[in-house]
């Protein structure tokens, strides 16, 4: 891989996104660290730069078409044309169906699906013109269905269908598109789930881990390792796939 390639990671100020950003920087990519709050991205950028990498903090609402276009243009100008896109930005608004509001539904759909669409549309031209690109979209085991997550489950299933279509449309241009579907990963989002349920996080984690064949919860580094594979030169014949990184088999 040439060291001039640029990767964009959304939702990268913390959790899985931050882990992915750091890993791609270690792999030699210049990394644009995107999140709603640009200041919140600065620590990840500082970590990357301290290790000798190149990174840029960019504050952007991935559901805003104009903001996304401006952000991608800035990244291309300051870091180089985007070659890798990791659509990781996401939110949860969990509730049982009869309690779920329209705002709960719309906000989750907007960030996960509209956000992935806008970001992908904004970068695909750079990738197709260069004849090389990697799109990695984050789904979830919740795409298979999960109580209290009708919105999130539908959005994450939609991400999978979106990605498979990208693989078909963009493959002839040297661009692959794949999905990583994490299971239980120890992040602020899963901590928020435990809080919503009124359960201490350690108790929540222990309950979940009992059902995971490898006997532990996942970490952002586990997802980052999978992203690293999909983003590599060697993964050029792998496209349109859904990889469940969940400590055991999923449907």
Catalytic positions, written as ranges? 152
Strand runs labelled E in the chain:
6-9, 30-35, 55-59, 82-87, 133-138, 175-182, 242-245
Alpha helices in 9-85, H assignment, sequence order:
15-26, 42-50, 65-78
Q: Which residue has the tokens 């920087």?
A: 25
12 CB neighbour count, 10 Å cutoff? 31
How far apart (Å, rounded) are the C-alpha atoms in residues 52 and 109? 37
SS3 per residue for 189-220: HHHHHHHHHCCCHHHHHHHHHCCCCCCCCECH
Beta partners for 218? 185
Q: Which 3 state secondary structure label does DSSP give 84?
A: strand
């Amino acid at each position: 891989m040439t060291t001039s390639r640029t990767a964009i990671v959304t939702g990268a100020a913390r959790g899985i996104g931050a882990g992915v950003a750091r890993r791609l920087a270690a792999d030699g990519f210049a990394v644009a660290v995107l999140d709603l709050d640009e200041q919140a991205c600065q620590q990840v950028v500082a970590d990357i730069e301290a290790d000798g990498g190149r990174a840029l903090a960019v504050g952007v609402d991935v559901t805003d078409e104009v903001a996304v276009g401006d952000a991608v243009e800035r990244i291309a100008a300051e870091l180089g044309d985007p070659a890798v896109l990791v659509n990781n930005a996401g939110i949860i608004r969990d509730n049982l169906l009869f309690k779920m509001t329209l705002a709960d539904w719309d906000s989750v759909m907007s960030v996960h699906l509209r956000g992935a669409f806008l970001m992908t549309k904004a970068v695909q031209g750079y990738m197709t013109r260069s004849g090389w690109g990697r799109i990695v979209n984050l789904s979830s085991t919740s795409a298979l269905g999960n109580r209290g997550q009708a919105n999130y489950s539908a959005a994450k299933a939609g991400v999978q269908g979106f990605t498979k279509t990208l693989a078909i449309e963009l493959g002839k241009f040297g661009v692959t598109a794949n999905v990583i579907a994490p299971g239980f990963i120890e992040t602020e989002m899963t901590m928020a789930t435990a809080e919503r349920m009124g359960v201490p996080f350690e108790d929540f984690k222990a309950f979940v881990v009992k059902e995971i064949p490898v006997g532990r919860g996942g970490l952002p580094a586990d997802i980052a390792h999978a992203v690293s594979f999909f983003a590599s030169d060697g993964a050029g014949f792998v496209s349109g796939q859904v990889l469940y990184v969940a400590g055991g088999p999923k449907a």
